[in-house]
Structure 1
Amino acid sequence: MKRLGVTEEAYTNVTDQLAQIAQPFTVRKGEFLQRAGAVATQVHWLASGVARSGFFNRDGVEVTLRFYREGESATTLTDLIAGENGQPAVQFLVAETTIHGFTLDWTQASALRAQSEVMQHYHLQAAMHGMHNLAMRAYAAGETSAQERLAAFREEYPGLESRISQRAIASYLGITPQYMSRLRREAEAELAGAAMAGTETKVEAYARN
C-alpha cells in the first residue's frame, strides 16, 4: 500500500474483487510464467518467491528489466495490452525461486476494472509506479557506473541479492558475471577496511584514556 500510495480500504476492496477470478499456481525455479513470443493473457500475483522480467536484444543477449517479489504482480503491462490484439509478448517472466501465487485472467480483470472506480485508481497507481521504476532503471543503465548500479540495486531490492543468482544480477546491471564477482570482492574489501579502521580508532581512543 505504501509503495503504490493507496489506502488500506482501496487495497482490500480491489483484493476482494480480484479474488473472484484468482486461480492458485506454483512454478519451480527456472520455469517461465510468460514466454517471449507467446501471447500474454495472465497476471501473476506472487504470494512467495521471486520472478524476473526481461528480453533478448538484437544480439541475442539477455537483458533483465526488473525483479518481482512477494506481494507484487509479476506483470508486463505492454505485453498484456498487445495481447488483446493477439500480438506476441516481447518480454519473458521467469521464476528465480520457487513461486506460489495466483493467476488472474487479464480480460476478466479488465472487465472488473471497467466497473469499479476504486480499481481504476488502484491500477493507475500501479502503472505509474511501474513507469517510474522503468524510468529510473533507464537512467541508471545509461548514466551511472557499475558500482553505482549495484548500490542502487541493493537499495531498491534489499535482501534480494542472497536469494537469486549472480548471473541474474549481472544481467540486470548490464555487466558480465565475472565483473559482478569483482564488484562484490571490492565491496567486501571496502567494508572490511572500514571495519578495521573503526576498530583501530577505538583502540587508539582507549589507549589515550
Structure 2
Amino acid sequence: MPKQQLITYFDQFLALEEEEKNALVERTQERKIKRRQFVLQEGDVCRHYNFVVKGCLKMYSVDENGTEHNLQFAAENEWMTDLGSLFSEKPSMLYIEAVEPSLIVRIEKEDLKFFFVNYPKFDRNFRVMTENKYVELQSRLLQNISSSAQERYLQFLANYPHLSNRLPNTQIASYLGITPEFLSKIRKKIAGR
C-alpha cells in the first residue's frame, strides 16, 4: 500500500499518532507516472511535494542549446519538488520527469500547510528533510567546484548506489557535468584498478 510506505517513512523520524496517519491518508494522492512523463514542466508553478513509492524521478533544466542538466534524482522513499517555485508561486525553471515507470504519493501545498498548522510533527519532519537536502546540495556544489570528474562519479556511487545500474550513462554524465564518453573512460579506469 503506497500510503502505508509514506507513513512508515515519517515514522522513522517521529512516530505518527493514528489521527496523523488518517489525515495523511485522506490528504494525499497516489499517482502512477509513465516513463518519460512529466510531474512538473518548465513554466508551470509547482504545487506539490512528490514522495517516490516506486521508480525514479529526475529534476533538470534545459539550456538554450537544448542540453539537459540533471540536478537531482529521487528513487524509492525519497522526495522531489521545486521548492523555489512551490513557495514563491512563480513559474518553475525546472522539469521533473519519470526516468522509470513510477508510483508517487503527492502532498499539495495547501495540505502541507494544514499538516504544519494542525500536526507539528510534520513541520519538524519536513524541516529536517529540507535541512538534509540543503546539506547534500551544498556538498554537491562544493564537489563540483573542487573535485575531479572521477571523484564526483565516486561520490555519486556513494550517494546513489541503488541508481548506478538503473540510470543510463547519459543521465549520470549530465548529473556530473561531463560527457557520456568521458564517463565511460572513468568507469573503465575504475574497473581496471
Taking structure 2 as the reference length, what is the TM-score of the superposition?
A: 0.87
Residue number in structure 2 paired with 1:73: 79
* 1:116, distance to aligned residue in structure 2 (A): 2.1
Greater mean alpha carbon deviation, residues 123-132 or residues 50-59? 50-59
Residue number in structure 1 paired with 2:131: 128
Q: 2:192 aligns with which of 189, 193, 196?
A: 189
* 1:147, distance to aligned residue in structure 2 (A): 0.2
Q: Distance in 2 between matches of 1:5 and 1:147?
A: 37
Deviations 1:32-77, CA, capped at 9 Å, x for gaps: 1111111111221111011111223455432111110111122221
Letter in 2 for 1:103: R
- Label 1:128 to 1:107 Cα distance change in 2 as closer, same or farther (>3 A): same
Q: Distance in 2 between matches of 1:182 and 1:5?
A: 43
Give the conservation status (yes or no) of the 8 Å contact 1:52–1:67. Answer: yes
Greater mean alpha carbon deviation, residues 71-80 or residues 149-158? 71-80
- Label 1:17 to 1:165 Cα distance change in 2 as closer, same or farther (>3 A): same
Letter in 1 for 2:141: A
5 Å-filtered alignment, 1:166-205, equals 166-190=169-193
Q: Distance in 1 between matches of 2:72 and 2:17?
A: 23
3-state SS of paired residue (2:58)? strand
Q: Distance in 2 between matches of 1:11 and 1:100?
A: 25
Q: Distance in 1 between matches of 2:156 and 2:10?
A: 19
Give the conservation status (yes or no) of the 8 Å contact 2:14–2:125. Answer: no
Q: Whose radius of gyration is greater, 1 or 2?
A: 1
Q: 1:140 aligns with which of 140, 143, 148?
A: 143
Aligned length: 186
Letter in 1 for 2:113: S
Give the conservation status (yes or no) of the 8 Å contact 1:25–1:100. Answer: yes
Large movers: runs of 4+ above 4 Å: 3-6, 10-16
Unaligned runs of 5+ in 2: 1-6
Residue number in structure 1 paired with 2:25: 19
Residue number in structure 2 paired with 1:106: 109
RMSD of aligned C-alpha atoms? 2.4
Unaligned runs of 5+ in 1: 191-209
Q: Distance in 2 between matches of 1:152 and 1:41?
A: 31
5 Å-filtered alignment, 1:57-72, equals 57=63, 59-72=65-78
Q: 2:62 aligns with which of 56, 62, 65?
A: 56
Q: Distance in 1 between matches of 2:19 and 2:145?
A: 39
Taking structure 1 as the reference length, what is the TM-score of the superposition?
A: 0.80
Give the conservation status (yes or no) of the 8 Å contact 2:43–2:92. Answer: yes
Q: Distance in 1 between matches of 2:49 and 2:142?
A: 27
3-state SS of paired residue (1:180)? helix
Letter in 1 for 2:156: F
